[in-house]
Structure 1
Amino acid sequence: MYDMIIRGGTVIDGTGAAGYAADVAIKDGLIVKVGTVSGAAREEIDAGGAIVTPGFIDVHTHYDGQFLWDDRLDPSFSHGVTTAIGGNCGVGFAPVLPEHKQALIELMEGVEEIPGIVLDEGLDWDWKTFPDYLDRLAAREYTMDVACHIAHAPLRVFVMGDRAINHEAATADDVAQMATLVREAMDAGAVGFSGARLLEHLSSTGAHVPGTFADDDELLGMAKAMGETGKGTFQIIPLGGVGASLFDEAGREARLAEHDRIVKIAEISGRPLTYSLVQFNSDEEDWKMMIDESERAVANGLPIAPQVGARSVGALTTLDGNHIFMLRPSYVAVADLPLTERLVALRDPARRAAILGEKSDPAVVAANPQLGSFIEMLTGRIGGIFPMSLPLDYEPGPEDRLEVLAKAAGVPMEAYLYDHYTKGDGTNVCASHMLNFIGGGLDGSYNMMSREITASGLADGGAHMKMICDASMPTFMLSFWARDRTRGPTLPLEHVVKKLSLKNAELYGMHDRGQIAPGKRADINVINFEKLSLHMPHISHDLPKGSPRMLQGSTGYLATLVAGVVTRRNDAETGARPGRLVRSKLALAA
C-alpha cells in the first residue's frame, strides 16, 4: 500500500519538459511511481484539473534569525516553498564571539532591515561556531527543509575582530584561519559560502559590511577552502550600484573586472557559483553584458548561474509600514498610536494640513539616517508611486502612476497619497518600482529569466520586512509569467517551474529533490493554476516584541507536501512540521 497517491493531475516535472497527465505515488517520503497508478493508498489527493509540480526551492533567504524562533517560515510557506536556504549576501550570525553579537545584529539590521529589537529578543546566542549554529537548526522542526551558507562578514569578524570591522586587509594568517573555519563549516553541512561587495550594503551604524573590500587573496582563499571539501556553492553579490557613475567607461571596465573575479572564484573552487544580477536604471544593458560573459564561462566548463528576480526591485509602502510622511513632526506625534486611533488623528483636517506642510524632522533623520535617506528617495520619486488594488498588477501602466491620478483628481500628489493611505481601514498599499523596471515595464526581467543560464532567486524572505514581500515570488512567477502578463510576452509554464525547482536544486547539489520522478523526495505542490492568485500585502505585528513585517497570502495551493507529508491543504496550514535541516553531503552529488 502506498502512503499517498496524487491522482489525475497534469505533472509539470521540473525538467522543462511538456506537462503530461499522470498519477504520483508516494511511500516513505519518496516518489515511487509516476504514471497510471493502481492499488490503494492511505490517503489520496484528487488533482483533477490541477498541476502537480516539485516543491519550490528558494535559494536566497535571510531567515538566519527567524530559523531560531519560527517554525512556519512565512512568507515563503504560503507560496509553495519546500526548501529555504539562508546565510546569503555575506551576512549571518555564526561563527560569533560574545563581544561581536551587537555588531552582527547591526549588520543584519542595516543590510537586510531586520529590526535589531527583533534579533535581540529572538536570538539566545547559544552557539559559537558555525557547526554549533547548524546543530541548533537541526534540533528544530519546520514546515519546510532549511539550509544555510557560512557568511563572510561574521567569519571575518570572528577571526579578525575590530580589524575586520575597520576593513583592514586580511593577513596570510587571517586567511588561513578563515579557510580552516570554512572547511569546518562545510564538513558540518553548510551548503556553501556567501559574500558581498555591494557598496550600498551598510550596517545600521552606516558602516560598510566587513568583507566588502576584501582583496582577491582573501576571497580566493575562501573559494579554495570550500572547493577542497568537494561540495558547496559560492554565492556573491558583485560590485554594483544604482548610480549612473558606475556605468561610465571606467564603470563598465569595473563590472567586467568583477566578472573576471567571479570566473577566478569558480575556477579555484571548482564548485558552482551564483551571483546577483538586476537591470540598473543607469545602464539598461549591463545585465546582458554580464550574462554574455557568464555564458562564455559556462561554455568553458564553469558552473556559473546569474541569480535574477522575477519582478521589479522596489518598495511597498503603507500607513503601518514605511511611507513618506512617517518622519514629519505632526505624524511622529501620533505614530505610536494603534492604527485605528492613528487614523482618527490623521483624518483631523488640522493635522492633515500640518503634515502636508512639513518636511521630515532633521533630528529624527539624524537618529535614523538610513531611513531618512529612504524617505527622501521615495519623496523625490513620488510621481512614480503606484497605488495597488486587486487583482494585483506588478507591471502597471503609466496611466496608473500617482502623478497621473493626482492630476486627474485635481489635487497635489502628496495630498492624493495621504488620502489614499488614510482611506478605509488604513491598510492601502502603494508600490515604488525601481530596478528591473526600465521604461515602466518588466521586459528586463523577462529577458533575464528567458536565458537558460539564469537561476531564480533574490526573494529575500525574512529581510526588508517592512518594505517588501518578495518571498511571494513563486506564486507571482507562475500566475504572471506563465498566465497573466498582458504588456509583453509570457514564459512557458514548464520553464517557470524548472526555474523554481530543478534549476535551483542542481545549483546547490540537492539532487534528491526538485523533480517529479521516482526516487526523488516527495516535495510536491498541487496547484489550481487557473485560480492561483496573490493577496494584497499587509502588515502583521507577529515578530518578537510585536514588531511589524509585510506578509502576503495566496489562493490556489490545493496541497503542499514535504517528504510526503501535507503541510498545506486548500491554502491553509495543516500544522505538520516535517521540515528539517539539510546538510550538504558528498552523497548528494550527481
Structure 2
Amino acid sequence: MFDLLIKSGTIIDGTTFPRYQADIGIRNGVIEKIGRIEPSEAQKVIDATGKVVAPGHVDCHTHYDAQIHWDPYCSNSGENGVTTVVAGNCGFGFAPCRPQDRERAMLMMENTEQVPYEQMKAELPWTWESFPEWLDHLRSLPKGVNFMMYIPLNPLMVYVMGIDAAKSRSATPDELSQMKQLIREAMDAGAAGIGLSHLQDKNGHTDYDGTPMPTDTMDQQDAIELCRTLGEIGRGTIQVLSYVPGLCDMKQLAADFFDATQRPVILNVALSTAVMKECYRPLLDWVDEQWKQGRQIFVQSFVQRSWNEFNLIDLNLNDGIPEWRAISKLPTVEEKLALIADENHRATMRAKYDPTQLMTGSGAIEDIVLTASGDVPELEPLVGRRLGDIAEERGVHALDVLFDTSIATNGWANFQTTVNSGADVCEAADIMSSPFVLAGSSDGGAHSKFYCGGHWATELLCTLGRDGGFMSLEELHYHFSYQPARVMGLRDRGAVLEGMAADLLIYAIDDIDASGESYEMRFDQPQGDWRRYFVTSGYHMIIVNGEITFVDGVSNDARPGKILPDMGVLVDQMMLAAEAAE
C-alpha cells in the first residue's frame, strides 16, 4: 500500500520535460511510482484532476536562522509552496558562538537583517556552541519545511579571532588552520557550504555599532583559503554577496572562489530596478563569459516586485550610506528625531542625495508615499501622496518632507516605497531567461518590520507565467526547484521523479493570486510583536516529505521537515559513486 496517492494530476516535473497526466504513489516520504495506480493501492487518495502537480520551491537565500524557532513553516515561505529553505546567507548566523558572545550575536543579527532582538532573546535557547551542535539543535526542532544551513563566516571569524581582530587584520596561519578545521567539522555534520558577504564599506548590512561586518573587510586571500576547504572535501556550495550594481563590483571574487575550489558559487545579486535600466546586463554578460571559461558560477536573482513599508524608528534601509547609518544606529527615538531635525545633518544629506545609491533600500525619496500619519489630523490630507509632490508644493527637498512628517508624528508616520526591484516585468523575464540565474531571494526571516518576500514564486507564476506569458510553467518550475536543488547538491529533491523525495505542490494556475499592493500587519511574533505580511492564495495542497502541510492555505500543523542534506542519503550516494568509480 502507498501512504499517499495523487490521482490524475498534470505533472510538471521540474526538469523542463513536457507536462503529462499520471498518478503518483508515495511511500515513506518518497515518490515510489509514477504511472497508473488504482485507488485501492493507497491509504489516502488525493484527486488532482484539472490541477498541476509540481515540485516544491527551493529558496536558496533566506535568513530564517532565528524564525525557525517560533515558526515551523518559515512564513510566508511555507504557505507559498517553498518546501526547502537555505539559511546562513551573507555570512550571518548564530554558530559557532561562545557563551560570552551570544548577546552580541543577537545585536549583530538585529542590525544586519533586522530580526528584532526581543524576539531572539525570548526564543533562542542557546543550547549550542559549535556548528555541529547548532545543527543537532535544528534537527530537534519540529519543522514544516526542509532546512539547509551554510556555515556563516562572520561568527566563525569572531569565534576564532575575536571581534576586534576579525574586523581589523588578516588571520594568522594558525587561525586559518583552526577555521578550516571548523569548516570541515561543519560539513561533516551536515552544513550545505559557506556563506559570506564582501562589499567592503558599501554594505547596508552593518554591525550594531555601524561598523562593517568582518567578512566585508576581510582579506580576500583569507576568504579564498577558507573556501578552499570545500574543494578539499569535494562537497558544498559557496554563496557570496559581492556585487550590487551602482554600489560595489567585486564579482571577480566569485571566479577566484571557483578557481580555488571547483565548487559551485552563487553570486548575489541580479536585480531589475526602476532607477537604473538594465543594470543587471553587465553581470549576466560576465557570468556568461565565466561559464565559457568553465566556471560554475550562478547568479541569485531578485526579480519579484518589492517595496518597503517603514517608519523612521525602525528604519535602516539605507545603512550603506554613512549619513543614513548615523540615524539608524542611534539607540532612542528622541536621539533619532534630534538628528533628523539638525539642519547641518540635513544639509549634508541634501547635498549628497543620489537616488541611485538608494535603489537597494528606500529608492528615490521623491517616490515614497505617506501611508499613515498617526493621530496628527493636519497631516491626514497628505496620506496617499508622493513626498516629491508635497515637496514641490512646499518648495523644499523631499528629504525635508520625510523628516518633518516623522518629527510631527514622533517617528510613527508610516511610508511606503515605490515598487523598485521587479517593477519591469520584461526586465525580470530577461534576467530569468539566463540558464545561470537562480530564482528566489526571499530574504525570508529578515526585515520583518518593513518587508516580506517569501511569496516570490507565487508572484512569478503569475507575472512571468500565466499573465505575462514570458515563460512556460515547465521553465518556471525548473528555476524554482530542480535547478536550485542541483546547485545546492540535493540529488534527491527538486523534481517529480521516481526515487525523489515527495516535496510537492498541487494547484490550479487560474487560482494563484499574488496581486496585492501593500502588506498586512500581523501580531503573531514572539511576545505579541508584529511583522509585515503579504497575502497570497491559490495552492490547493503543499506536501513535504510525503506529508500534507497546507490545504487551501491553511496549515494542518504537520511538521515533517528535515535538515538537509540528509546525511544518510549523502553517505549512500557517496558510496555508490565510489563503487561506480572502481
TM above 0.5: yes
The reply to whether residue 264 of structure 1 matches residue 248 of structure 2 is: no
Q: Secondary structure at the match of 2:214?
A: coil
Q: Secondary structure at the match of 1:471?
A: coil
Q: Secondary structure at the match of 1:154?
A: helix
Instruction: Single out whichever of 265-274 and 378-387 deviates more from structure 2.
Output: 378-387
Q: What's 2:328 paired with?
A: none
Whole-Å separation in 1 of the counterparts to 2:206 and 2:196? 14
1:164, CA displacement in angstroms?
Answer: 3.7
The reply to whether residue 545 of structure 1 matches residue 527 of structure 2 is: yes
User: In 1, are the aligned partners of 2:258 and 2:295 still within 8 Å (CA)?
Assistant: yes
Within 5 Å, give how 1:483-498 maps onto structure 2: 483-485=466-468, 490-498=470-478
Whole-Å separation in 2 of the counterparts to 1:305 and 1:365? 45
User: In 1, are the aligned partners of 2:55 and 2:495 still within 8 Å (CA)?
Assistant: yes
Whole-Å separation in 1 of the counterparts to 2:174 and 2:274? 41
Whole-Å separation in 2 of the counterparts to 1:470 and 1:427? 23
Q: Secondary structure at the match of 1:443?
A: helix
Q: What TM-score do you get using the length of structure 1 for normalisation?
A: 0.79
The reply to whether residue 316 of structure 1 matches residue 312 of structure 2 is: no
Q: What's 2:507 paired with?
A: 527
User: In 1, are the aligned partners of 2:73 and 2:79 still within 8 Å (CA)?
Assistant: no
AA partner of residue 579 (structure 1) = G
1:184, CA displacement in angstroms?
Answer: 0.8
AA partner of residue 298 (structure 2) = A
Instruction: Single out whichever of 443-452 and 74-83 deviates more from structure 2.
Output: 443-452
User: In 2, are the aligned partners of 1:512 and 1:588 still within 8 Å (CA)?
Assistant: no
The reply to whether residue 447 of structure 1 matches residue 430 of structure 2 is: yes
Whole-Å separation in 1 of the counterparts to 2:385 and 2:22? 45
Q: What's 1:348 paired with?
A: none
Equivalent of residue 237 in structure 2, options 191, 215, 233: 233
Equivalent of residue 215 in structure 2, options 190, 211, 215: 211
Within 5 Å, give how 1:224-303 maps onto structure 2: 224-240=228-244, 242-243=246-247, 255=249, 258-279=250-271, 284-303=277-296
AA partner of residue 15 (structure 2) = T
Q: What's 2:83 paired with?
A: 82
AA partner of residue 153 (structure 2) = H
User: In 1, are the aligned partners of 2:363 and 2:417 still within 8 Å (CA)?
Assistant: no
1:180, CA displacement in angstroms?
Answer: 0.8
Whole-Å separation in 1 of the counterparts to 2:246 and 2:107? 23
- Figure out how many residues of one structure are paired with residues of the other and give that number: 519
Instruction: Single out whichever of 265-274 and 126-135 deviates more from structure 2.
Output: 265-274
AA partner of residue 262 (structure 1) = A
TM-aligned CA distance change 1:401 to 1:533, over 3 Å: farther
Whole-Å separation in 1 of the counterparts to 2:278 and 2:165? 35
AA partner of residue 236 (structure 1) = V
Equivalent of residue 488 in structure 2, options 508, 520, 523: 508
TM-aligned CA distance change 1:283 to 1:431, over 3 Å: closer
Q: What's 1:2 paired with?
A: 2
Q: What's 2:126 paired with?
A: 125
User: In 2, are the aligned partners of 1:167 and 1:211 still within 8 Å (CA)?
Assistant: no
1:539, CA displacement in angstroms?
Answer: 1.6
Q: Secondary structure at the match of 1:101?
A: helix
Whole-Å separation in 2 of the counterparts to 1:380 and 1:556? 31
TM-aligned CA distance change 1:387 to 1:506, over 3 Å: farther
Whole-Å separation in 2 of the counterparts to 1:56 and 1:381? 32
1:479, CA displacement in angstroms?
Answer: 1.8
1:277, CA displacement in angstroms?
Answer: 1.5
1:217, CA displacement in angstroms?
Answer: 2.0
Within 5 Å, give how 1:120-519 maps onto structure 2: 120-198=121-199, 199-200=202-203, 201-240=205-244, 242-243=246-247, 255=249, 258-279=250-271, 284-317=277-310, 361-362=337-338, 381-385=364-368, 402=386, 430-434=416-420, 436=421, 441-485=424-468, 490-519=470-499
Whole-Å separation in 2 of the counterparts to 1:323 and 1:267? 36
Whole-Å separation in 2 of the counterparts to 1:427 and 1:361? 12
User: In 2, are the aligned partners of 1:164 and 1:211 still within 8 Å (CA)?
Assistant: no
Whole-Å separation in 2 of the counterparts to 1:501 and 1:428? 36
1:314, CA displacement in angstroms?
Answer: 3.8
CA displacement, residues 534-557 of structure 1 (integer Å, 9 cap, x when unaligned): 365212222223222122232111
Whole-Å separation in 2 of the counterparts to 1:307 and 1:89? 12
Whole-Å separation in 1 of the counterparts to 2:238 and 2:433? 23
TM-aligned CA distance change 1:404 to 1:35, over 3 Å: farther
CA displacement, residues 479-498 of structure 1 (integer Å, 9 cap, x when unaligned): 2211224xxx6222211111
AA partner of residue 222 (structure 1) = L
The reply to whether residue 29 of structure 1 matches residue 11 of structure 2 is: no
1:574, CA displacement in angstroms?
Answer: 0.9
Gaps of 5+ in 1: 247-254, 328-334, 337-357, 389-399
TM-aligned CA distance change 1:116 to 1:133, over 3 Å: same
User: In 2, are the aligned partners of 1:510 and 1:588 still within 8 Å (CA)?
Assistant: no
Equivalent of residue 559 in structure 2, options 570, 577, 582: 577
CA displacement, residues 292-338 of structure 1 (integer Å, 9 cap, x when unaligned): 222222233322111101224541348998799xx9xxxxxxx99xx
Whole-Å separation in 2 of the counterparts to 1:283 and 1:363? 30
Instruction: Single out whichever of 143-152 and 26-35 deviates more from structure 2.
Output: 26-35
User: In 1, are the aligned partners of 2:5 and 2:39 still within 8 Å (CA)?
Assistant: no
1:290, CA displacement in angstroms?
Answer: 2.1
Q: Secondary structure at the match of 1:83?
A: strand
Whole-Å separation in 2 of the counterparts to 1:108 and 1:480? 33
Whole-Å separation in 2 of the counterparts to 1:89 and 1:30? 32
Q: What's 1:396 paired with?
A: none
User: In 2, are the aligned partners of 1:305 and 1:455 still within 8 Å (CA)?
Assistant: yes
Q: Secondary structure at the match of 1:89?
A: helix
User: In 2, are the aligned partners of 1:88 and 1:151 still within 8 Å (CA)?
Assistant: yes
Instruction: Single out whichever of 280-289 and 549-558 deviates more from structure 2.
Output: 280-289
Q: Secondary structure at the match of 1:293?
A: helix
Q: What's 2:543 paired with?
A: 561
Whole-Å separation in 2 of the counterparts to 1:121 and 1:102? 12
Whole-Å separation in 2 of the counterparts to 1:475 and 1:384? 26
Whole-Å separation in 1 of the counterparts to 2:18 and 2:523? 43
Whole-Å separation in 2 of the counterparts to 1:193 and 1:360? 36
AA partner of residue 112 (structure 2) = V
Percent identity at matched positions?
Answer: 29
AA partner of residue 514 (structure 1) = G
Whole-Å separation in 2 of the counterparts to 1:132 and 1:47? 42
1:188, CA displacement in angstroms?
Answer: 0.6
Within 5 Å, give how 1:63-82 maps onto structure 2: 63-82=64-83
Q: What's 1:397 paired with?
A: none
AA partner of residue 554 (structure 1) = T
1:268, CA displacement in angstroms?
Answer: 1.5
Q: Secondary structure at the match of 2:215?
A: coil
TM-aligned CA distance change 1:43 to 1:318, over 3 Å: farther
User: In 1, are the aligned partners of 2:267 and 2:298 still within 8 Å (CA)?
Assistant: yes
AA partner of residue 455 (structure 2) = S
1:120, CA displacement in angstroms?
Answer: 1.9
